[in-house]
Chain A
């Protein structure tokens, strides 16, 4: 059996098995009734109202009131859920209030020590935010690794200019885990991130996408073309690896090579070009095939040419 046929078989069998497992688990209400009960919200009798919370949490209340969510929940709720104020997210506070703050039963504190499972905590946020850019949160790499919304967002105060991030900027927020990416902005050849003209979410949607690397577009190239549309074509003479994936040659997070290349020229081009004569020559550094722009001294239309005689990307 050929590779494709074998794979299709494995996929179909795996898919059917997966669906079966899911169906069994999903339909067996008896087995998981206990889990469901835990997840269901308590009745309205347990709510005490935000003003009660304010008595002890005056500072938090004041800070929250300055946020967009605070203004909505505390002053202009759009629905009954928002009208529950603090308890809309934290859960009913009656037990907590009656125990003078001793009991946290039924409460979600969203702190690092909160025993509430991450997906339960996140489901509180997704209850309102599961739309638009958050449509594909489930199954995203951040969801799969158990990242809490509060790992990146500080809901209770305006710590960043926008989006209520835990750090003043997006780069610092994402840089909590993506240390290498944060360092790459210091590279010689970089997009204007450290100058504040771009940020991580210019290209990525951290809340999940259906494509690779949480990119905001259907492909790497489609994303790059949103600003570099001159390379979109279609061209009369295409450079196949360039039209398939810009990242075949470029490292968009920053590089120590010109034009954010993954390898310095001419070695980058020589990885693939082994016809005859000059592309195959190891070269002396003091030749026109190496210095200045190296290969693109002549083959400057390397992303594609529309010139009838531009087959070698020289026109």
Chain B
């Protein structure tokens, strides 16, 4: 008997006992307890079930097993005077994605909740790896393979690896988040509300991670996930008619029990400079964050209100450093660490103030200011040298980065209800970033955004909402050498010709003009018909960026329709959304020493994504209060293209350089998902029903980056002849499911 059936039987037994207890108590204490709820049991068969390998996307966040199921259980116990209640809702019981919520209390006075949730995350079901995890995070290969490859001539290595990887065994590439949440809330006095919430998220499993020994020897591994997040939130609210105050404390603890990833180098059995026998990667460190926050609001005359917040947060991370390298052949004195751990500490201050007022019915005013200060107090450690991917010592003094920034927002807005059917809004927002000029190129950016909105209800059943905003973001100075200063100690002594291109502007700091328009209409000519078209358009113009993102445009248009021509017998739903994202970027291929500034090596890429999403549904009452039929079809198609071209043919370098500078289009990436569902429900009695359901789900993907991926890629890319991948693909699938369920409501 598997866990699913054991869980289901357990729940059914509890339900039966409660029903029995209720029946017994009803005779003797009829007024004391009232039990209500619903239980739904049934079975599921697959007409067409994806194979284990093809099932990765189908079961990305869920489990869909064949056989019996207890899909839904709802139990509620109310005291007859309705002063107390206890409610249980459980779904997908016993399955990998089960969820259980138990809550109860005294309405309006006290509440407790307990929730248990499991969410699987399947990355791929096709992964294979020759590595054996001998202890958590330690991946080993047979010594013979390493010795053989080490001794083989470079040209012979791919053939040896190919034959070995052909027999690589399958591995799991999935994780699961188990979440337990406890909440307690109470109002001991009418004006005081207290709440405590504690959540534990435990993540466990494996996911793909890339590692490398420089460029020609990539090794992809299943990263062990053994992480826990403890989160505690305490809040107290004091509420008076004219003022409210809220104080709170949040604690978030992150603990990673998988500290490092160590793996054998397929090409070397013994440590040597330039050829380590193993590599080591530091997995995310434990950290903790404390946050204190205070919020308050006071109501002023003439429907005015002043509200403010103040928050202080401290993040800390002090996990011990691991040595520069695991390669025992590299023992240079310059590799002595300057500290045992980071001693990382960040203080974050957030403050906001907002004044709103509606002095007269038709006019609303708002002004606000907000400050967010990220003050990184982590020491900046200087490392005399580093080790490049466990291979060799790089004698270059570098400094770690403790990045600070502040963000400020301010603005004002007014809305004017001209007549009851027409509302006009105007506003202005300002955003300023101040960044540490040692780390980021644009120390200061200011963005100004005037905006208008217009809402119109000319007749009953028609509402038009429109808004338009235009913004200008400008940076005062843009220092392309900040990229070097970010970690290099001696910037002056460096060959800056190989630094970031002087004309590049990074899109999160670059000058930008943005226009945005949104239109929405809600049309309900009668109660049984509603129609909601929507259009939005956004254009970002990076007009001062010679290189980098040049332009980013996107638009979306869609509609929702709901129509009940024979209310309440038939209801149709339809929805459609077309989204287009179009971005243009420009770069220059730069290869030192001679081809750093060859303008014929410029290339321009246009990345365009077109997504269509459609939904159709109909609910038909075939026999009133007896037989219902639900049909639905939802589908999505996304096509992503990455086209690239050189404005002029590359010339001036060697043939190899000219070839490397030549831009080509990447094949289109296409994803299609559709789901058809039909359900017939028959109510035997008002309390008892059965339902038969058919589901067709079909997914197709064409992605040139993963379609051909396998552990050995030397046949596709000669330069990857000594690399090892997992071969993790997302595969097409088709699933057809028929299920039958019986539900009982009591």
Which of A's residues lie within 8 Å of B, judged by CB? 3-4, 7, 11, 14-15, 18-19, 21-22, 25-27, 32, 35, 68, 71-72, 75-76, 78-79, 112-113, 115, 117, 119, 130-132, 135-136, 138-139, 144-146, 161, 175-177, 179-180, 182-184, 186-188, 192, 195-197, 210-212, 218-219, 222, 225-227, 229-238, 240-241, 243-245, 248, 256-257, 263-265, 267, 270-278, 280-282, 284-288, 290-294, 296-301, 303, 305-311, 314-315
Cβ contact within 8 Å between B97 and A229 = no
Question: Which of B220, B498, B660 has the most A CB atoms < 10 Å from its CB?
Answer: B660
A180, A234, A285: the one within 8 Å of B666 (CB): A285
Taken together as a complex, chains A and B put the C-alpha atoms of A183 and B305 apart, in Å, by 36
Number of A-B contacts (CB under 8 A): 435
Q: What is the CB-to-nearest-CB distance from B181 to chain A, in angstroms, rounded to a whole number? A: 12
- Chain B residues with Cβ under 8 A from A113's Cβ? 460
Cβ contact within 8 Å between A311 and B589 = no
Cβ contact within 8 Å between A183 and B709 = no
Cβ contact within 8 Å between A281 and B661 = yes
Asked whether any CB of chain A lies closer than 8 Å to the CB of B270, the reply is: no
Asked whether any CB of chain A lies closer than 8 Å to the CB of B701, the reply is: yes
Given A240-B486, A276-B591, A179–B671 Cβ distance below 8 Å? no
Cβ contact within 8 Å between B709 and A291 = yes
- Chain A residues with Cβ under 8 A from B246's Cβ? 131-132, 135
Given A135-B307, A274-B548, A306-B285, A21–B532 Cβ distance below 8 Å? no
Name the 7 nearest CB pairs between A and B, nearest first: A25-B359, A256-B638, A229-B254, A230-B284, A282-B663, A307-B282, A234-B344
- Chain A residues with Cβ under 8 A from B208's Cβ? 293
A4, A232, A309: the one within 8 Å of B432 (CB): A4
Given A78-B190, A267-B585, A179–B575 Cβ distance below 8 Å? yes
Segment at the interface with A among B160-168, B410-418, B683-691: B410-418
Contacting residues of chain B (523-577) with chain A, CB-CB under 8 angstroms: 524, 532, 534, 536, 547-549, 556, 558-560, 575, 577
Cβ contact within 8 Å between B344 and A68 = no
- Chain A residues with Cβ under 8 A from B367's Cβ? 14-15, 18
- Chain A residues with Cβ under 8 A from B386's Cβ? 308-309, 311
Given A75-B81, A226-B252, A311-B398, A301–B281 Cβ distance below 8 Å? yes
Given A32-B360, A161-B89, A240–B244 Cβ distance below 8 Å? no
- Chain B residues with Cβ under 8 A from A146's Cβ? 415, 417, 423, 455
Segment at the interface with A among B20-28, B321-329, B618-626: B321-329
Q: What is the CB-to-nearest-CB distance from B672 to chain A, in angstroms, rounded to a whole number? A: 9
Q: What is the CB-to-nearest-CB distance from B571 to chain A, in angstroms, rounded to a whole number? A: 13
Interface mask (B202-234 → A, CB under 8 Å = 1, otherwise 0):
000000111110010010100000010101000
Segment at the interface with A among B47-55, B131-139, B148-156, B370-378: B370-378
B364, B383, B508, B725: the one within 8 Å of A245 (CB): B508
Given A18-B412, A307-B282, A144–B366 Cβ distance below 8 Å? yes
Taken together as a complex, chains A and B put the C-alpha atoms of A119 and B304 apart, in Å, by 12
Cβ contact within 8 Å between A234 and B317 = yes
- Chain B residues with Cβ under 8 A from A227's Cβ? 201, 229
- 20 A–B contact pairs at CB < 8 A? A76-B83, A115-B420, A119-B303, A179-B532, A183-B636, A195-B61, A197-B99, A210-B309, A219-B350, A219-B372, A235-B285, A256-B640, A272-B548, A276-B596, A282-B663, A291-B705, A297-B220, A309-B325, A311-B386, A311-B398
Asked whether any CB of chain A lies closer than 8 Å to the CB of B579, the reply is: yes
Q: What is the CB-to-nearest-CB distance from A85 to chain B, in angstroms, rounded to a whole number? A: 14
Question: Which of A131, A229, A278 has the most B CB atoms < 10 Å from its CB?
Answer: A229
Q: What is the CB-to-nearest-CB distance from A267 to chain B, in angstroms, rounded to a whole number? A: 5
B62, B297, B350, B413: the one within 8 Å of A218 (CB): B350
Given A132-B246, A276-B596, A280-B587, A267–B605 Cβ distance below 8 Å? yes
Interface mask (B91-110 → A, CB under 8 Å = 1, otherwise 0):
10000010100000001110
Cβ contact within 8 Å between A180 and B315 = no
Asked whether any CB of chain A lies closer than 8 Å to the CB of B269, the reply is: no
Main secondary structure of the interface of B (DSSP, over half): strand
Segment at the interface with A among B4-12, B400-408, B731-739: B400-408
Taken together as a complex, chains A and B put the C-alpha atoms of A136 and B297 apart, in Å, by 8
Taken together as a complex, chains A and B put the C-alpha atoms of A159 and B557 apart, in Å, by 29
Interface mask (B440-471 → A, CB under 8 Å = 1, otherwise 0):
10001010000001010000110001000000
- Chain B residues with Cβ under 8 A from A265's Cβ? 705
- Chain B residues with Cβ under 8 A from A238's Cβ? 401, 403
Cβ contact within 8 Å between A277 and B717 = no
- Chain B residues with Cβ under 8 A from A79's Cβ? 190
Q: What is the CB-to-nearest-CB distance from B321 to chain A, in angstroms, rounded to a whole number? A: 5
Question: Which of A26, A197, A211 has the most B CB atoms < 10 Å from its CB?
Answer: A197
- Chain A residues with Cβ under 8 A from B709's Cβ? 291-292
Cβ contact within 8 Å between B560 and A179 = yes
Given A72-B108, A264-B669, A271-B507, A197–B119 Cβ distance below 8 Å? yes
Given A14-B412, A218-B311, A281-B661, A179–B558 Cβ distance below 8 Å? yes
Chain A residue, CB-CB nearest to B111: A68
Taken together as a complex, chains A and B put the C-alpha atoms of A72 and B105 apart, in Å, by 13
- Chain A residues with Cβ under 8 A from B609's Cβ? 256-257
Q: What is the CB-to-nearest-CB distance from A14 to chain B, in angstroms, rounded to a whole number? A: 6
B307, B585, B590: the one within 8 Å of A276 (CB): B590
Q: What is the CB-to-nearest-CB distance from A168 to chain B, in angstroms, rounded to a whole number? A: 12
- Chain B residues with Cβ under 8 A from A11's Cβ? 369, 410, 430
Given A131-B244, A188-B673, A270–B585 Cβ distance below 8 Å? yes
Cβ contact within 8 Å between B301 and A26 = yes
- Chain A residues with Cβ under 8 A from B321's Cβ? 236, 306-308
Asked whether any CB of chain A lies closer than 8 Å to the CB of B300, the reply is: yes
- Chain B residues with Cβ under 8 A from A306's Cβ? 282, 284-285, 317, 319, 321, 342
Given A225-B289, A229-B254, A263-B583, A136–B210 Cβ distance below 8 Å? no
Given contacts A281-B589, A306-B285, 4 further A-B contacts (CB under 8 A): A145-B465, A236-B400, A282-B605, A300-B210
